[in-house]
Amino acid sequence: MNVNWGDVLKGAVPILIACIAWLLGQVNTFETRLTKIEASMPVLITPDGVPTDSSLSAKARSELREHLTGEINDLKVRVGVIESKSK
């Protein structure tokens, strides 16, 4: 059985070209999607290399700081009352 490789190549070349064209299209689509994602992300690191907070984490940290400051002040008052009673 003799295989005519010329005929095989004639049939395979269009398929290979179509596959390469599809692959290039997918890469282009991926680049577009990646650009959109990067554009919608907030800047997490400044040009100086310093990490920045997102607005959500900064708000949560501020609320936690306020809560802890209130707790610390309450504990200071309690310690003051206990110290004044022991004198």
pLDDT tens digits, 3-54 = 888 888 888 999 999 999 999 999 999 999 999 888 877 677 677 777 777 7
The answer on pLDDT for 67 being more than 90 is: yes
Question: What residues contact 53, with CB distance under 8 A and at least 6 apart?
Answer: 61
Greater model confidence, 45 or 84: 84
| Dist CA 38 CA 57 (whole Å) | 20
In this predicted structure, what is the pLDDT of residue 42? 66
pTM score of the predicted model:
0.44
What is residue 25's predicted lDDT score, i.e. its pLDDT?
95
Sign, CA dihedral 70-76-80-81, equals positive
